[in-house]
Structure 1
């Protein structure tokens, strides 16, 4: 294996489809270690087999493949890139990544869904640069180690907190690293608006798909479900605007439905796929956090509150957390 161009070391935590794609692109100029769980044996033996509409077919053989971050403690990383699901109600991410973080050196990059994911990490690692990234990508792991990426991709990235000086240089370097791998990435001043905007779709379509067990096209074909999606979108927009984001509700909703019809037809969102598999869903960061922020500002969001109750119950049930004592 050729030596990395810049002798950079990166660790991908949660190497499923998204982590694989961006680890693959980073590996063009860095030594990339991947934390793999269910796909560990296959990836260690064969690497990842990738089919990408943007970059063609290829094989990604990580510099190293490990089962958990404890195995990474012997090394020092320039980047720890988190692409695992955001499940603060189940796992403490700061404790998961702690063995791989070198104080003052390692840049932590969160490529995750949802709202309010950054502050716990900022609190846990105050001397480390922190970058928050929103990904727009369609990719899936069809079987262990086999990745299919549909269409294009792009990343939006911001320092956290906004304008954080210690993260400024890290942001520039990460931008160049990703661009060297052909990734479309743009730095923006504040990621919160983008996270709210993505939630307009995720907290509505994803949640309604879970509640109804319908894909996007089936939801669009059922008028009561369409009405519910619109009401949830309106709730999310009111909550976001109470924090000064200034979304135009009519425009945003129309755009979300247009995009769903054009690029996300017959689509089962990741939250619904998690439900199908009986895996934990990102209910708290996608629905719960915007609900709590709305309530904090005194904003009425009845539809968001209702869909949270439903999806939270489904999540708890599938995790075996709802138990009723037998009565004699």
Structure 2
């Protein structure tokens, strides 16, 4: 049995689900919370899942990273819009020989975190998970759940699969979390963006679930065209995604239960959108290599507009509540 302990930064639909599964399997997991802290401290975590519902009546819940034990593996499950908080959190949470596992969407989160803890202490993770929060400390898992793990090295150099990757994978597999391991983290990030860019962006702009986007012939064409742009962007980084990847992603989404994407949920809940991580960073990387992404750029500009509009409306609503 492992003696590695874990910290979860961001106990939401993703961090709450995976952290609860790890604790249920007997691992020590420490949860950093903010708005959900009091509720989770009293009632624990509730997970609804087709794999079996369960409740953890007691969890190691904290609202201050400085009060938490140092951990072997610190899992970053925050939205990338909150990464500015990590420079104060990670140094106090990470053991001297510990690693940070970045379970975030988009591109270039690992280099940002490497500036805080060093590139040699960063692992990337890509989650294929359909889940959402029902309420404080209450997560509904709808479908899927596989995590792809890959070592990060400076400039996303591919360094293969290491012993520590195997060790962390064993902990997750013990928790019945499906794991794949990648020899090339950057390639895996681009593959994830093939799905994330069209479905997250279009779900917000068109106010649609995944099944609605798949069920309309016009939006289906648009999804495929945007996917092709992502593959072109990956090629600009010398990462080749095979021709059959797009039909495989479409089939994967056809089989998925009707789902509001994470960005659509954030928009509906008036939370900031991960526009830069998922759209802006890939556009800038491709542009640096001389590759234009016209349809993705249109999505990016529209999302920036609706994000500003929604955040301004939310700011005014809060001011009215205070008046």
Q: Say whether residues 1:49 and 2:46 are aligned partners.
A: yes
Match of 1:208? 202
1:326 paired residue number? none
Query: Displacement, 1:224?
Result: 3.7
The alpha carbon displacement at 1:315 in A equals 1.4
Deviations 1:238-281 (A, max 9, x none): 111122222245x33322222222214x3211101111111011
Root-mean-square deviation (CA), in Å?
2.5
Task: Map residues 149-164 of structure 1 onto 2, 5 A cutoff.
Answer: 149-161=141-153, 162=157
Residues 94, 120 of structure 1: 8 Å contact kept: no
Name the structure 1 match of 2:18: 22
Equivalent residue number for residue 10 of structure 1 = 6
- What is the alpha-carbon distance in structure 1 between the residues aligned to residue 202 and residue 272 of structure 2? 17
Deviation at 1:95, TM superposition (A): 3.2
Contact 1:31 1:63 (C-alpha < 8 Å) held by counterparts: no
TM-score w.r.t. length of structure 2 = 0.87
Residue in 1 that maps onto 2:303? 311
How many residues were matched structurally? 311
What is residue 282 of structure 2 aligned with on the other side? 290
Residue 256 of structure 1: SS of its match in structure 2?
Answer: helix
Matched-pair contact (CA < 8 Å) for 1:316–1:322: no
8 A contact 2:13–2:131 mirrored in 1: yes
Shift of 1:112: 1.3
Q: What pairs with 1:1-328 in structure 2 (closer than 5 Å)? A: 6-27=2-23, 28-54=25-51, 56-61=52-57, 63-72=59-68, 75-87=69-81, 91-102=84-95, 104-126=96-118, 129-161=121-153, 162=157, 168-249=162-243, 251-264=244-257, 266-320=258-312
Unmatched tracts of structure 1, length 5 or more: 324-328
Q: How far apart are 1:180 and its partner, in Å? A: 1.9
1:38 Cα offset (Å): 2.4
Deviation string for 1:108-149 (max 9, x for gaps)?
111111111101111221276221111112222212222222
CA contact (8 A) 2:30 2:60 kept: yes
- The change in CA–CA distance for 1:213 and 1:119 in structure 2 (over 3 A counts) is same
Determine helix, strand or coil for the equivalent of 2:150: strand
Cα distance change, pair 19–239 in 1 and its aligned pair in 2 (3 A): same
Given that 2:90 and 2:117 are in contact with CA atoms closer than 8 Å, whether structure 1 keeps it comes out as no
CA distance in 1, matches of 2:50, 2:285: 38
Distance in 2 (CA, whole Å) between partners of 1:62 and 1:192 is: 38
Whether the aligned pair in 1 keeps the contact of 2:41 and 2:61 (CA below 8 Å) is: yes
TM-score by length of 1: 0.86
